[in-house]
Structure 1
Amino acid sequence: MKHTNNTHPKIGLTLLFCVAMIGVFISSSLPVQSQPTESTGGTADAITYLPLVQNRVDGSLGIPIFGLQMYGTTSDSSKYHSYLLESDASWLRVEISWATAEPTQESPPVYNWTSIDNGLAAARADMGGLNIVATINRAPSWAVVEEETGPVKPDNLEDFANFMGALVERYDGDGTDDAPGSPVVLYWEMYNEPDSNTDKSDPDFLPPVSWGDYGEEYAYMLEEIYPAVKAANPAAQVVFGGIAYDFLKSNGGKFVDSFLTDVLDEGGGDYFDVMNFHSYPAFYPRWTTNQGSGLLQKANAIRNVLVSYGLDKPMIVTETGWHDNNASGPIIPGSQQIQARYVVELFTQGMAADLDIVIWWLLYDIGGSYPYDAGLVTNADTPVEKLAFQVYQDVVGELSTTHFERTLSNTETGNSLMEVHQFNDNVLERTLYVAWLNRVDTTATSSLRIPASSANVKNSITGNEFMVSDGNDGVIDGHITVTVGADPLFIEVEK
């Protein structure tokens, strides 16, 4: 059953989710959108969908972290809409454009909402009621320093704030100046990879706006729009643009090493609610020596930067993923199996890193000149589900009822390349271990000993399940032994 949360947001307070039939209450520290649905009497009633759980309750569970990226319309007119709903994702990231809404400067401003309403349609109850992260990613040419790629001009920051206020008001669900269906969007991401510094001689790398060398200006932009967002909806969350924080200029790349600290040095930390970054396994050598994806270690490094500035912010990832084709470039080739393995590993690490949202980039293959088929489904006229799509659904089912407990040490695993994360599940009354051997394409195996009398083991990629009992290794000692390889395993121990 789809996990959709449709309660009214209260920032900083526990959120309650109620299903009267079974008396289940679920709470979260995250703001959650409110979605009206049409009843037979024509009134708007709130409806919440939760897993059907009888007599097993964990009131501390929040919104599952699992998200996907789409472009363009997210309504049921999209050929990908049914796959979005079938994925069981709770979150959707969508790019929207200020330039499209306000192509010309007028006084008072005139906004064309059509494109944005189409892009954010999946927030509507009748279109899925997903929690959306909306990425503001393009500014009008009249408002930027340099056409296409420059930051917003200081004289036009007020125009930007006015636009943001009108946008957030349109998606606050209060019945005043609302988008059709009164959908609610709470998470507003201020640009995609703003740490980029575009080399205009490289036509393959032209982000919509480059703030990389303008960290001070980015901080001023946040300071200008933050009050406007909060005035429109106090529960709205201003999200730092997802920084690449890899492929840095100091190493011949495109992203400015000091962008984050440049913003924080100018006091920008007071004007965003949620920290955000991107993480792709191609860059794992910068973050980890265990040959894993690096997402967990990168999250910890960025969190440490925030702490050094006295900041304690929720953190999310708005892009991570892998491809299934053998496009040249990354140090690890793609295949359906490798892509599916990364689905398990990246979301597991996201939970281990205490991230509130993790977005897989993206739901479908983007096609065109882009060489990497990173979607969970193809972009055919009738899209085809990949192995990774099925594994995504399974990961949602396995982890949505759990809390991360700890990562096992090398001493416990007996192998520095083995990664094992332990989860507690009060709903299904089990302890769940997710275990794999790095690198993602390794052919090696290694033995893992876990204290248990028995366990059900499921291969997350093949779906094969088998029981392991104490004594299967020839010794009855209160432990089971499981052979771990590149395919992540779900090891379930009853409490």
Structure 2
Amino acid sequence: MHHIKNNRPIIGLPLLFCVVMTSFLLAKSLPVQSQPNTEINGTETNTTYLPMLLNQFDSSLGIPIFGLQMYGNTSDSSKYHSYLLESDASWVRVEISWATVEPTQETPPVYQWGNLDNNLSAARPDMGGLNVIATVNGAPAWAAAEATGPITPDNYEDFANFMGALVERYDGDGIDDAPGSPVVLYWEMYNEPDSNSDTSDPNFLPPVSWGDHGDEYAFMLEEIYPAVKAANPHAQVVFGGIAYDYFKSNGGKFVDSFLTDVLEEGGGDYFDVMNFHSYPAFYPRWTTNQGPGLLEKANALRDILASYELDKPFIVTETGWHDNNAPGPIIPGSPQIQARYVVALLTQGMAAELDVVIWWLLYDIGGSYPYDAGLVTNDDTPVEKLAFQVYQDVVAELLTAHFARTWTTAETGNSLMEVHQFNDNVLQRTLYVAWLNRVDTTATSSLRIAASSANVKNSITGNEFVVSDGNDGVIDGHVTITVGADPLFIEVEK
């Protein structure tokens, strides 16, 4: 397990990760090697280079929160697989279809697992061994009027049987496992189930979801939860990532009462992990400081669960931004803006104490979809974007860090400045991540931090420099740093 917070378990920590992290942190080293024999003053010598051991180890570090979205094949036959591994993400989210596995209703059920095995391959030890969040979607026509809508009442038992067989196949127990024995523990029940769009509007697809049927979604969770736990007690039922924005009352397609409708029907007893989506396009609803809004949205949703006396781990299975200037959003896209949002959204995810943050997505979709939101292109040989490199840097900076606190406006001196403070016991440092909102601002502001000196890195340009007490003309035990739209990593030795 992770640590225990407020008497509830945090998402589990696989043994493999413990071993890998221990090896990485305790014995990250050069390989053992020797120079050829030499003579010094007539004595033959041999120089051997031994592994370098770090002095610090933080046993409270859990699985890093950083993840990416993929669709379809996640095996090493995918042209994106190497980029998935090189990103240093610990999680990958993949959508799966019940209809694909069980297209026809038969007794006993006949499941066609081939495509699914391919889609979940990233969980195989020989394919990266990533933590996979599988989004269960797409009911067969014989079980639901709409693929993404409520299950026909007579077919809930079929769905529960499917979920039991699904979880069993990917539990890694050596019995009827998928090829390579992938272990998948996180099962997300539909994508944005709070959607309920007008079937006459072709811009909103799929045309029907669960949004106006919170009571039926709660019943669905109650039906499948025992089957999931019976197949693998360690499996986690994940609430479908709700958009919780662009509500129908404002001309959108999402039902603002969906979550409370589910909880009113007792659905809170039948999921393990709460889950939402957060996109900066909707920041005005959540924040007055023009920031990304993820942190504030997480706090608002936590308050809703707390009103039902529920305390569950929180994750985000979609957040992101595009690098092209596509029409629509109030903030245009560019490579720099996308990269800035990589830092800001992942940092806010840490500040919100989320257990997973999935960047949507690893690669551009292309076709008629107007937003190039991937970290790499979809060319025959994908090309890494600026955002990909920045993603790697964020993971490297925050991998061994614990969130400490977010600075107040009184401390930053500017209501548009965000400063998030982290403690790093492994690297023996205090780390600050600071930026000025909005993401496209050209303004700057001064930040004062108590320190004799600080190492500063611009997360977008990679430029590094040292700021010392007195650089501002006054020696007062503080360093003064100029902060703008590019997030800064500010490191102070403990």
| TM-score with structure 1 setting the length | 0.91
2:458 is aligned to 459
Question: How many Å apart are 1:186 and its aligned residue?
Answer: 0.4
* TM alignment of 1:7-156, pairs within 5 A: 29-33=10-14, 50-51=24-25, 52=28, 54-144=54-144, 146-156=145-155
2:360 is aligned to 361
**Partners of 1:298 and 1:93 in 2: how far apart?**
21
Distance 1:89 1:198, change over 3 A: same
**Partners of 1:12 and 1:463 in 2: how far apart?**
34
Distance 1:174 1:208, change over 3 A: farther
Give CA-to-partner distance per residue, 1:294-351, whole Å, 9 cap, x none. Answer: 0000000000000000000000000000000000000000000000000000000000
**Partners of 1:64 and 1:12 in 2: how far apart?**
13
Q: Is 1:326 the equivalent of 2:325?
A: yes
**Partners of 2:224 and 2:109 in 1: how far apart?**
16
Letter of the 2:212 partner, please give it. D
Unpaired segments ≥5 residues, structure 2: 29-52
Q: Does the residue aligned with 1:307 lie in a helix, a strand or coil?
A: helix
8 Å contact from structure 2 (residues 139, 146) kept in 1: no
8 Å contact from structure 1 (residues 34, 183) kept in 2: no
1:20 is aligned to none
Q: Does the residue aligned with 2:315 lie in a helix, a strand or coil?
A: strand
**Partners of 2:196 and 2:331 in 1: how far apart?**
26
* TM alignment of 1:256-405, pairs within 5 A: 256-405=255-404
**Partners of 2:14 and 2:190 in 1: how far apart?**
21
Letter of the 1:466 partner, please give it. F
2:483 is aligned to 484
**Partners of 1:58 and 1:419 in 2: how far apart?**
27
The alignment's C-alpha RMSD in Å is 1.6
8 Å contact from structure 1 (residues 377, 386) kept in 2: yes
Q: Does the residue aligned with 1:141 lie in a helix, a strand or coil?
A: coil
**Partners of 2:458 and 2:234 in 1: how far apart?**
41
Question: How many Å apart are 1:34 and its aligned residue?
Answer: 6.3
Paired-residue identity, %: 81
**Partners of 1:106 and 1:277 in 2: how far apart?**
35
Distance 1:434 1:13, change over 3 A: closer
**Partners of 2:146 and 2:75 in 1: how far apart?**
31
Distance 1:87 1:183, change over 3 A: same
**Partners of 1:303 and 1:169 in 2: how far apart?**
31
Larger deviation: 448-457 or 202-211? Answer: 202-211
**Partners of 2:232 and 2:13 in 1: how far apart?**
13
Distance 1:11 1:459, change over 3 A: closer
**Partners of 1:160 and 1:11 in 2: how far apart?**
31
1:411 is aligned to 410
Question: How many Å apart are 1:151 and its aligned residue?
Answer: 1.1
**Partners of 1:420 and 1:368 in 2: how far apart?**
38
8 Å contact from structure 2 (residues 199, 207) kept in 1: no
Letter of the 1:166 partner, please give it. A
Give CA-to-partner distance per residue, 1:458-484, whole Å, 9 cap, x none. Answer: 000000000000011111111000000
Give CA-to-partner distance per residue, 1:198-238, whole Å, 9 cap, x none. Answer: 21112222138600000000000000000000000000000
Question: How many Å apart are 1:177 and its aligned residue?
Answer: 0.9
User: What is the aligned length?
Assistant: 463
Question: How many Å apart are 1:50 and its aligned residue?
Answer: 3.3
Distance 1:76 1:34, change over 3 A: farther
Larger deviation: 413-422 or 197-206? Answer: 197-206
Letter of the 1:133 partner, please give it. I
8 Å contact from structure 1 (residues 34, 184) kept in 2: no
